[in-house]
Amino acid sequence: MRRVLLIVLLAGVLAAGCGGSGSANGGTTLTLWARSDESAFIAGVVNAFNHTHPRIQIKLTIIPVNNFVQKFGIAVAGGSGPDLASIDVVYMPLFAESGVLADLTARAHRLSYFSQFDRSHIDNSSYDGRLYGLPFSGDASVLFYNTALFRAAGLNPDNPPRTWAQIVQDAEKVTATGQGREGFYFSGDCGGCAVFTFLPFIWASGGDILSGSATAQHPTLTEPQVAAALRFYHELWAKHLVPAASPSDSGTTQFTPFESGKVAMFSTGGFGVQTLHQDAPHVPLAATPLPGQNGGTASFAGGDAIAVSKSSHHQQAAWQFIEWVTSAAVQERYFGDVGVIPIRRDVAYRYYAPKNQVYHLLANELYAGKAVYSVQENALINDATGPWVTMLDDAVFAGHIESAIHTAQSAMSSILRRG
């Protein structure tokens, strides 16, 4: 538990009143924690389970996404964590390695549909040959674009960019039409946003930012594809093809520029489809894979895994919820029908992908994509003052490509050596 205990020491004090499960009216009440990014659909999932399982009730707690790792780490280290947790796949290696999650290996492999799960969730929920979570909700990063702005700039919406140079060229053409229009947008102060939407550009070009096993990892920021991707983003910024709000956007307003109808291209995930349809129905939306420098594609396969706390006194009841929530009928109705990519291939391609072109693309990208696997992902990447965010800021907005890479490489190496 050394990493989770470190979280406790850094926080200084255990949170009081966390978690808690028990029995009521002769039945069982389970606690479930989920990050706020899942607020749009998870209440519907829990309500449906509670309605159909009167002997097992789920008590849902939504945790602000930026507080989830610390709050969950403190709770499970102190024995007061929830029975169940919906955990971002990038944090699964941390909690699996820390020994605070129940081993689901045997139960999971007995599921008749185990082979239908997407590989990214399974890989990130595994540690030392054991499985500590199952896929819960799926997501994948793609490039969304405004077809009306493409047409206004004389571009063919049916022929979206397939290289970085084409993205720049198309962004220039849209920006040149004036009327406050701009070609591209990204949240420049959001490590999680950038690993989800920027790292695939590197992957698609044959590069990566980490190498090695979970216990012997080292950064690879000095690979040429990393510098090339940073130059690509810097070019977009230096040519004034990106709104001025980008450097200070920590992700809280990431949709706003695209929703205005004035930005042509914006990379996000499947969760953005419902947001854009609800908040900006006037924006004609299409999507295409995130391209490599000279072709190829890649996607960050994200979403959440569902895990059981090792300290839960209701392991069987918790497993019953997991079986129910990963069933075909539930994944179709309470995930696919509300725009969340089903984490079962059979459900995704039978019920979700046929709905429209964007959903079909998202399904393809989830099942072909991958995620960062590191027990130190939070310190390396999501930390607002960590080496990943600092490198992006210094390279993309200031243009200090080589020095930013050197500094980040050194900082990441130090974090990984400390373990």
11-25 pLDDT, tens digit each: 433 333 345 556 555
Among residues 331, 363, 352, which one has the least CA distance to residue 44? 331
Q: Are strands 134-146 and 301-308 parallel, antiparallel or unpaired?
A: antiparallel
pLDDT at 272: 87
Report whether 257 contacts 272 (CB < 8 A).
no
User: What range defines the domain where residue 207 resides?
Assistant: 140-300+374-418
Beta bridge partners of 63: 35
Q: Where are the alpha helices (DSSP H) in 252-400?
A: 256-259, 271-279, 315-325, 328-330, 345-347, 357-368, 377, 387-392
Whether 290 and 345 map to the same domain: the answer is no
In a domain, 204, yes or no: yes
Whether 294 and 331 map to the same domain: the answer is no
pLDDT at 60: 98
> Total domain count for the chain?
2
pLDDT at 4: 47
Whether 156 and 207 map to the same domain: the answer is yes
Q: Is the pLDDT of residue 6 over 60?
A: no
Whether 96 and 145 map to the same domain: the answer is no
Whether 154 and 282 map to the same domain: the answer is yes
In a domain, 182, yes or no: yes
Q: Where are the alpha helices (DSSP H) in 239-385?
A: 256-259, 271-279, 315-325, 328-330, 345-347, 357-368, 377
Distance (Å, whole) CA 407 – CA 111 = 46
pLDDT at 418: 86
Please count the other Cβ atoms lying within 10 Å of the Cβ belonging to residue 413. Answer: 15
Q: Is the pLDDT of residue 86 over 70?
A: yes
Q: What is the pLDDT of residues 338-376, one digit of tens each?
A: 999 999 999 999 999 999 999 999 999 999 999 999 999
In a domain, 110, yes or no: yes
Q: Is the pLDDT of residue 151 over 70?
A: yes
pLDDT at 77: 86
pLDDT at 14: 34
Q: Which residue has the higher pLDDT, 5 or 206?
A: 206
Whether 387 and 265 map to the same domain: the answer is yes
Whether 25 and 129 map to the same domain: the answer is yes
Q: In which band, very low, low, confident or very high, does the pLDDT at 216 lie, cut at 50, 70 and 90?
A: confident
Percent of the chain topping pLDDT 70 = 94
Whether 76 and 118 map to the same domain: the answer is yes
In a domain, 90, yes or no: yes
Among residues 397, 384, 381, which one has the least CA distance to residue 247? 397
Whether 35 and 152 map to the same domain: the answer is no
Q: Which residues contact 108 (CB under 8 A, 6 or more apart)?
A: 114, 131, 134
In a domain, 335, yes or no: yes
pLDDT at 66: 85
Q: Which residue has the higher pLDDT, 13 or 58?
A: 58
In a domain, 369, yes or no: no
Q: Is 138 exposed, middle or buried (0-12, 13-18, 19+ CB in 10 A)?
A: buried
Q: Give me the phi and psi of 61, to 5 degrees please.
A: -125, 125
pLDDT at 11: 40
pLDDT at 25: 57
Whether 224 and 265 map to the same domain: the answer is yes
In a domain, 293, yes or no: yes
Q: 364, 385, 407 — which closes off a domain? A: 364
Q: Is the pLDDT of residue 315 over 80?
A: yes
The answer to whether the pTM exceeds 0.85 is yes
Q: Is 316 exposed, middle or buried (0-12, 13-18, 19+ CB in 10 A)?
A: exposed
pLDDT at 416: 95
Whether 44 and 97 map to the same domain: the answer is yes
CATH of the domain at 159: 3.40.190.10
Q: Which residue has the higher pLDDT, 19 or 167?
A: 167
Q: Where are the alpha helices (DSSP H) in 68-197?
A: 68-77, 92-98, 105-109, 119-124, 147-152, 164-175, 191-197
pLDDT at 22: 61
Whether 354 and 405 map to the same domain: the answer is no
* Mean per-residue pLDDT, 402-407: 98
